[in-house]
Amino acid sequence: MSIEKLTSSVRNIPDFPIPGIQFKDITTLFQSAPHLKELSDILYERYKEKGITKVVGIESRGFFMGPAVAIRLGAGFIPIRKPGKLPYKVIEETYTKEYGEDTIQIHEDALTKEDVVLLHDDLLATGGTMVAAYNLVKKLGVKKIYINFLIELEELKGSAQFPKEVELNSVIKF
């Protein structure tokens, strides 16, 4: 299977969640076993030699592939969630995204200085959510951070929001 085939399988939903947003629906990738396997294979091959100890997925669509990749890499999975969803002590970050403001949290003991982290989410638009997640993970003092998206909307230039030393990859680019 090719990246082009995966790309053509993403469904566009106009005016969701608000007018003017062209939503990229990735559920079409997950409902197909061959597509799901291909995504898993791509992510595994990309990160298998990086020494990843934890995959950190952002609520909620970062929870789709994050645990699967963690299993394949022999790593743990850490959720970043919206306020009130994590039961233990948290640190949080508030940020602006393309259609409003939001806050995310992570358990304060979720990561250690020895961890090599793969931060994973479904889509890079303006970068606000992942920048907030990156800041949270940095506060916990990990050894190294890699960032991955299933989809990147290149015209919004979200990748420019990250430091040059961060390795950022996207499987599909629009």
Measure the CA–CA gap between 174 and 170, rounded to whole angstroms.
10
* Residue 70, C-beta contacts closer than 8 angstroms, at least 6 positions apart: 54, 55, 76, 77
Residues 28 and 7: their CA atoms lie apart, in Å, by 10
61 has catalytic annotation? yes
Residue 72 burial class via C-beta count within 10 angstroms: exposed 0-12, middle 13-18, buried 19 and up:
middle
Kindly name the residue from 61, 81, 93, 152 that is annotated as catalytic. 61
Using a 10 angstrom Cβ sphere, with 0-12 exposed, 13-18 middle and 19 or more buried, the burial of residue 73 is buried
Question: Which is the catalytic residue, given 46, 59, 72, 98?
Answer: 98
User: Among this protein's residues, is 101 annotated catalytic?
Assistant: no
**Enzyme catalytic residues:** 61, 98
